[in-house]
């Protein structure tokens, strides 16, 4: 069966099922958008209660939120690049675990106060590799807004955040540059120690 005929058959099946192909695609996109929306809502809620919760309270509140919206194992693999394949399976799992704690800790540290901030959805677009970018911005009273671009990829039946670009600066690129350098120069144990040190510093600030 030719590709054109196969494409027509798929379209016909969708229409017979009462599904508009364009609508089906939009539904998939809106699911990704909802992942980001929910995460941002939870961030704002934690900010509003930041002082009362304290660092440990914010960490506990954000743990499930970050885990459910981010593809932390994938991000951990990306930030060490080709070095990932050189790690043993226990080392890979240890890196995922400590990196996951770092991600939650950084949110608990950076989103601790509230003074009227709010997130606004701007638009979303497809990437050439089948992902989506959700464009939003954070409005800050008496200050310039911060542009947040969330890059998402499908993981199973859901979308997950794999990178966040704030005002044009990629969090993933920054971490990859730093972590691969430490891993290559000083080794795995030094990288884990460095990440744990960052987590400890976040908890004290």
Q: What is the CATH number of the domain that holds 185?
A: 3.10.450.710
Query: Residue 157: inside a domain, yes or no?
Result: yes
What is the domain range of residue 68? Answer: 29-204
Instruction: Write the Ramachandran bin of 81: left for phi over 0, alpha for psi from -120 to 50, otherwise beta.
Output: left
Query: Residue 24: inside a domain, yes or no?
Result: no
Query: Residue 192: inside a domain, yes or no?
Result: yes
Element (H, E) at 149: strand 146-155
Domains contained in the chain, number: 1
Each of the 205 residues of the chain gets a pLDDT tens digit; together they read 443 333 333 333 333 333 333 333 444 446 899 999 999 999 999 999 999 999 999 999 999 999 999 999 999 999 999 999 999 999 999 999 999 999 999 999 999 999 999 999 999 999 988 899 999 999 999 999 999 999 999 988 899 999 999 999 998 899 999 999 999 999 999 999 999 999 999 998 7
Query: Residue 45: inside a domain, yes or no?
Result: yes
Query: Residue 70: inside a domain, yes or no?
Result: yes
pTM: 0.82
Question: Residue 163 pairs with which residues in a beta bridge?
Answer: 151
Q: Which two tokens stand for residue 50?
A: 């930041």
- Contacts of 166 by beta carbon, 8 Å cutoff, 6+ apart: 146, 147, 148, 149
Query: Residue 163: inside a domain, yes or no?
Result: yes
Query: Residue 11: inside a domain, yes or no?
Result: no
């Amino acid at each position: 069966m030719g590709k054109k005929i196969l494409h027509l058959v798929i379209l016909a099946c969708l229409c017979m099922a009462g599904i508009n192909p364009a609508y089906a695609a939009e539904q998939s996109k809106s699911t990704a958008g909802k992942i980001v929306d929910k995460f941002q809502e939870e961030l704002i809620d934690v900010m509003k209660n930041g002082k009362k919760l304290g660092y440990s309270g914010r960490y506990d509140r954000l743990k499930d939120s970050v885990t459910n919206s981010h593809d932390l194992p994938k991000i951990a693999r990306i930030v060490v690049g080709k070095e990932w394949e050189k790690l043993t399976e226990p080392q890979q799992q240890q890196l995922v675990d400590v990196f996951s704690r770092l991600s939650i800790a950084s949110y608990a540290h950076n989103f601790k106060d509230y003074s009227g901030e709010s997130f606004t959805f701007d638009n979303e677009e497809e990437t050439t590799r089948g992902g989506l970018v959700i464009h939003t911005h954070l409005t800050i009273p008496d200050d310039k807004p911060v542009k947040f671009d969330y890059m998402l990829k499908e993981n199973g039946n859901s979308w997950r955040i794999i990178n966040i670009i704030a005002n044009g600066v990629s969090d993933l690129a920054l971490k990859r540059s730093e972590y691969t350098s430490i891993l290559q120069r000083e080794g795995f144990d030094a990288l884990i120690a460095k990440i744990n040190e960052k987590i400890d510093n976040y908890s004290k600030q």
